[in-house]
Structure 1
Amino acid sequence: MTINPVDNLVDYQEIEQIINRFHTLSTKDEMQKITNELYHYFKKKMHSNRGLNEAISKAFRLMMIDHAGYIIYIDEQFCKQLGYMKEELLFHHYRTLHAGVHDGQFYEDMWSTVQKGNIWEGDICTETKMNAIIWYRTKLIPIVDVEDRIVAFAAFRTDINDVKDEDTQLVEALNDDYRKVFQQLMNLIFRVRKNKETGEYRFSLIEGKLTKKLDIHTENTYDQPLDIVFKNTDNLHVIEKFDRVFAGEEKETTFKHQHGSFFLYSLLTPIMENDEVIEVVGSSIDITSLENAEKRIRYLAFHDQLTDLPNRSKLRDDMKELVDQADQFSSFAVLYCDIDRLKHINDTLGDFLGDQVIQMIAKRLNNAIKDNGSLYRFGGDEFVAIIEGTKEEIDRLSEKMLCEIKQPISLQGHEFFVTSSIGISLFGVDSFNAEALMNHASIAVHYCKVNGRNSRLFYTPKMNKMYNDILLMEGEIRKALYHNDFELYYQPQINVHTGEVIGLEALIRWYHKEKGYIPPSEFIPLAEECGLITQIGEWVIRKACNQHVIWIEKGFKPIRIAVNVSAIELQRFDFANKVAVIMEETNMDPAYLELEITENSVMRNTEDCIKTMNALRDMGVSLSIDDFGTGYSSFGYLRKFPINFLKIDQSFVKNVLAESSNAEIIKAMIQLAHTFGLKVVAEGVEEQEVLDLLQKQQCDYYQGYFFSKPIPPDKLEQLLFGSQPVI
């Protein structure tokens, strides 16, 4: 074995010369002389070598290990410092001295270096026999023989425990300064390290004023697991967050979690060294008040503040969920409860007492329902209950609800009684649809109120036509038809470019002798619902045709008259025949009659509507799509409709100056109509600027208050032949 500094202690050439002299010796005295020389030479050299070893022992702790890592030499001072006898270490593996501070990779790198013939230098932590820790600055040097083969390794170690202690004290001082700073922060600050062998995450620091609120004792947090901070939280969710940050997949990540009764919002940020995440720094803030506020907002969004009952929004969601989860065997009902004449209590005693009555009724209804279902405040004096059970059980429970409500009420010296009307619809009997169930229950409760109140009724299909307002208005409409109380007003349609009146729209008007003017928006829907719309429609067509003939007889120039047709009329199989009869009876030229049809009406039973429209066109009648843009007709069907005109709904026209999008929509509608060879009429024109825009977009005709409001026939005659428009 060769260690260069030691080799220089022995002069091999001098030894060889002395030995060669043995071959020339002839006497015993000469041989003894040479032997003495060799003895003194080696004694002198060994003394020098012992001095070198003592010097090395004072300067270093020397240990030699073989290829397998077993100790083949160790000096006395090294053994003494480690607390071992020489025999306890010689021919034992060097891992006996491992302190568990360095990981496997550390030793693999060290061995890889020296086995390549290179010197390895570094700091190694060694454990004594008494489990104390000593740090050595170490040089591990390969030892080679005369043929330069590595035969062993010499480890020269220098004790640097005092340096490490100073470093530790410095780090601790710095950490102490950081802690003092972090302790003043409102948030929670922490550092987390990952054990490379076990993969566990451990805290190395937790500070901040928030620790006191969370009852975290910072003096005991070092090397503690994550659940110190992340209590009451999905552990896998938290570990996944740390995994992603330590793996370098995210520069930082945030998440919400719970710690006891507190809600925290945490941020994790990686600390990098040599392109490796060695630590994660985190901070947490207390968002408990915000979370509670959000919960309160969510609660208020679905609960009535006066009664604390679930509200209409919650009812809608619960109904949808209940219906979605129900099957053909499910049995439940919707009970629509309307408090009778609560408005009189508010008017008499004030809204404050009225609110108290509502609260009291809510408690009574809840008491009646108990565990059989859920109660909601639908709004005002209306409650809705969803009850599970058979029809017989629901019948008994609804009777109990009525009885609870009509018990005497005593408030501030006043005693009074209230009653209620309850409409009931059954799932699977009346409908399988949530909206339909609510609608049917509402119809039942209205019919219940019409028929005396303070009762309950199960929905039947017959109730659809039995609302009080429908029943009353039906009689009035019949009287108006019989006495010819309706009349027609006319609104001119004007050529956008020439200003010429090219047509009229006939509009029904009703002046009731007792109720005064009743707008079409009130009686037309009712007439449709009660089946009188066909008679009204027939009356309007006949009246318009007669008026046209009268004007011709007066010598006026023929003009086209447009009449609105309801969806119900258009759906009738004999509608075209009735129109033909009217024109024949009135002697009306079909070329001057235009029928206006809403786009939604033609989308019901479309193919039959197209047949009817073709029959009308064959007679010479013009057709137009009214209120275009408000329905859902497809362009495919629009090509099939045998129409002449397309009327843009006034909702687009009136706001065209204020909303640029409306201008673009109108432009597109005009282009579309012209593509299909149709003329375009814009409704609701009231300003010159709107008319200018329509002219620019090549619209054909318009009608609206800018030229004239709808007026009766006599005033229209003055307008058509006079110089001043009627305003």
Structure 2
Amino acid sequence: MPSLPEELKDLESKLQHTLRKLESIQKALDESTIVVITDQTGKITYVNEAFCRISQYSREELIGNTHRIVNSGYHSREFFKHMWKTIGTGKIWRGEIKNKAKDGSYYWVQSTIVPFLDERGKPYQYVSIRTDITRLKQYEEQIKYMANHDDLTGLPNRRFLREQFSKLLKETKEEERLLAVYFIDLARFKNINDSLGHSVGDEVLKQMAARFRTVLDQKLFLTRVGGDEFVAVAPRVNYQSILAYVRTIQQMLARPLEIEGREFILSANIGISVFPFDGEDLDTLLSHADMALYHAKEEGKFYQFYHRTINQRLIRETILESHLHRAIERDEFILYYQPQYDLFTGELIRLEALIRWYNSELGWIRPDQFIPLAEKIGLMPKLDEWVLSTACRHRKMWKQRGGVEADLSINLSASHFQIPGMAKRLLSIIESNGDDPCRWEFEVTEHIMMQDSAVVYENISQLKEAGVKLAIDDFGVGYSSLGYIKKLKVDRLKIDRSFIKNLPQSADDQAIVAAVITMARQLAIDIIAEGIENETQIQLLKEMGCKGGQGYFWSPPISETEIELLLHGAE
């Protein structure tokens, strides 16, 4: 049996070993875990080194204090009330807490608070074991930010708008005021992307977003919802402030952007819907603002408030679109023709083919209703080819029946010229019908001058080489450029009827028509005046040197049967 001193030595050895293990555990805790002990009132009685490091306070500053010293103000009173209620009943509490360090920076900890109970089952102290999750929370915040913001402009996205809208609406209702939704679309932004590249387009969007943030104060919730479209929500407003924001945006757009040494002046269209008149939820207000935006674009307005007639118009357009897709296969289109005459000889010089649409359910649909719609939904190339093919058949029929063979002209969509191979396709239609391209004239609007691309010029060159003539329709009301007229090798200009109808009463219109005719003669380009209605207009146009004309003075657009009679009478 060992002696007592030997037992003491053995006990001391075991104790030293245990202390070393405890020191190792404490060292490990100090490196990886934050440990804090408080009494039952929350006063700090112990902190380890890890807590001092993360909080940047010394032990002397922490011991005897409470956790209010690191309170960040992030959590609500109810949050801490629930925590104390849990540990006060002897239960363990777990949760994430955002604290504030001595230098003002914030950090997050995953905390487990364990109550120590006395013999009566009441807590006499609490041990908090915490781990630093600041980086994890930063990653979470970054992921959340990326999910809720546009990565190009840094603006909130549609998803974040949905999250915040109920709060904005609540604030508006509490103050019994209005809430406005602005749907903003940058006009002709696609042209910048297509002509100068996406890098320039992206820079334009970033600069525009920065300007929006600057000029639209913190009261507005601004988002980018895609492409060149932005949505701003203005809570707690009246009509005066709604319009004030519109003027602010207009003034902002007047200042040019400078990108890569180029200056850009952008325009925009804005659709506006207002709570509670135009809807009481975000989806309805956005939809109505979008409708108003569409109307603003169609009417060439800077901004447009939503009203119910816009909705009715769009409903009709939707109905038209559904019928338009099937109109060709159902043989609903009809070709009418309007004659063009030599003002000096009275001779018939050409027939302009004009498409008309009759639907058994909707009746006659005006060209100014269905042609812009067909353009928008990409059906114009198909309609153009139908017109050309049908007119070819009609001319072949008139010729077989012994009528005078007149030249024909058709209207083509300017966007059709952007399609590679368009010229070959149209020429093949003419040739397959045994027709001569030299007897054809294709009319386009001045919009073609805005499509300065290699594809456009390739198509025009192929048509011109085959003998097809090119006319600019409605000349003077759009983008007129002598340089482009020369570059496109235009054969004929058609003076728009809006300049003819007030002749000779309008001195301004008379001066414009005279200038166009003089310019055309100097460029060796033919001129035709549209919309002639009386002999006085004919005499004045002849004096100015205009050679051709068309209008109701001779004939409105007439059917193929009436044209056949006209051609027989012209023999």
For CA contacts below 8 A with separation 6 or more, give which structure has more relative contact order.
Answer: 2
